[in-house]
Amino acid sequence: MHPDLDDLLGSAHVVTLPLSTRFRGIDVREAMLLRGPYGWTEFSPFIEYDDAESASWLAAAIDFGWSPPPAALRDSIPANATLPAVGPDEVTGVLDRFPGCRTVKVKVAERGQALADDVARVAAAREYIGAEGRIRVDANGGWGVDEAETALRALAAFDLEYAEQPCASVAELAALRSRIRDLGVPIAADESVRKATDPLAVARAGAADLLVVKAQPLGGIAAALRIVAEAGLPVVVSSALDTSVGLSMGAHLAAAVADLPFDCGLGTAALLAADVTDRPLVPVEGAVPVRRIEVSDELLARYAAPNERRGWWLERLRRCHAVLART
């Protein structure tokens, strides 16, 4: 069953949620929530994304709200903590919000910062999580090949689990992977999967050791599972600073992946200072449960976006629905 535009518009709520820590250059997260026959779902591409890219996020929202999820192979998903590009003195306060998590993903290559800032942040994360904990770094494609090699040689001393999207292009990832084989630091592809015209190109090129998959950008759970099956590489299921509703979509995706060797990036509700539910999907003893989210009417009202922003999102929904209708 696929909804028409009036169905979507009739159930749409737009919220503006404050963050507890600045992340991706923003202090608030805007999202649209929709309700389908199978429950609440989320449409929340970042503001700067164009309609063609955002339409995949709408396809995902429709998939989760208007179709049953696949059979779950597990009822909880081990989650990593996510550490924004904060100073070392702020690390403990952020990571305390992720109780029981044994893995920390550290943001690096932040615009306006230096490698020394990354080293200090990763060092503080390693001190916090201890020798047995796992640390992965995420550059969001922010380094060139030479920069990435220099940075990873400096950061490898902290026993990295992997480096996520150190460079922007598939060719750069392949070149870097060849250069750093001696380090034993695997390369994970994120943007090269979710923002690519061909999300399997990075796997075919041998440019990554594992893939990061996200339900919303890839067009939904079913579409993401097809990519996982065809890629033939280990995967990490992650999110995009979603509300608990979007994180639930990611948890249902992770629950359906046959082999899940890595902790998943589904604990980011801990970075929100507010959510849309009285039972946020935050890590408990290092894992998030696989469940649907019941949205609070009171919280929807409290964090409702101003009329101007609500109108902007409704127009975006109309345009993205038109894109899907043409495909």
Average pLDDT over residues 298-321: 98
- 38 and 146 in a single domain? The answer is no
Helix or strand or coil: residue 36?
strand
Q: Is 27 annotated as a binding residue?
A: no
- 31 and 176 in a single domain? The answer is no
If you ran DSSP here, which 8-state letter would residue 215 be given?
A: T
Looking at residue 81, its amino acid is A
Count: domains in the chain: 2
- 86 and 134 in a single domain? The answer is yes
Q: 243: domain range? A: 76-289
pLDDT on residue 21: 84
Average pLDDT over residues 65-91: 97
- Per-residue pLDDT of 92-127, as tens digits, reads 999 999 999 999 999 999 999 999 999 999 999 999
Q: Is position 214 annotated as part of the catalytic site?
A: yes
- 192 and 318 in a single domain? The answer is no
H or E element that contains 323? helix 307-326
Q: Is position 195 annotated as part of the catalytic site?
A: no
- 10 and 26 in a single domain? The answer is yes
Mean of the per-residue pLDDT values for the chain?
97
Please tell me which residue in 29, 97, 107, 136 is annotated as part of the active site.
Answer: 107
263 in Cβ contact with 129 (< 8 Å): no
**How far are the Cα atoms of 103, 138, 197, 308 from residue 182, in angstroms, in the given order?**
23, 20, 31, 53
The token pair at 234 is 């280990």
CA atoms lying within 13 Å on the CB side of residue 314: 14
pLDDT on residue 25: 82
User: In this model, does residue 327 exceed pLDDT 90?
Assistant: no
Q: What is the CATH number of the domain that holds 17?
A: 3.30.390.10
- 93 and 57 in a single domain? The answer is no
- 115 and 221 in a single domain? The answer is yes
Looking at residue 189, its amino acid is A
To the nearest 10°, report the CA torsion of 103, 54, 193, 150.
-60
**Residue 1 neighbours by CB distance under 10 Å:** 10
- Per-residue pLDDT of 216-274, as tens digits, reads 999 999 999 999 999 999 999 999 899 999 999 999 999 999 999 999 999 999 999 99
Q: Is 138 annotated as a binding residue?
A: yes
Average pLDDT over residues 177-202: 96
Please tell me which residue in 13, 97, 214, 321 is annotated as part of the active site.
Answer: 214
- Per-residue pLDDT of 7-39, as tens digits, reads 999 999 999 999 998 887 889 999 999 999 999
pLDDT on residue 1: 60
239 in Cβ contact with 268 (< 8 Å): yes
The token pair at 128 is 């916090």
- 29 and 93 in a single domain? The answer is no
User: In this model, does residue 313 exceed pLDDT 70?
Assistant: yes
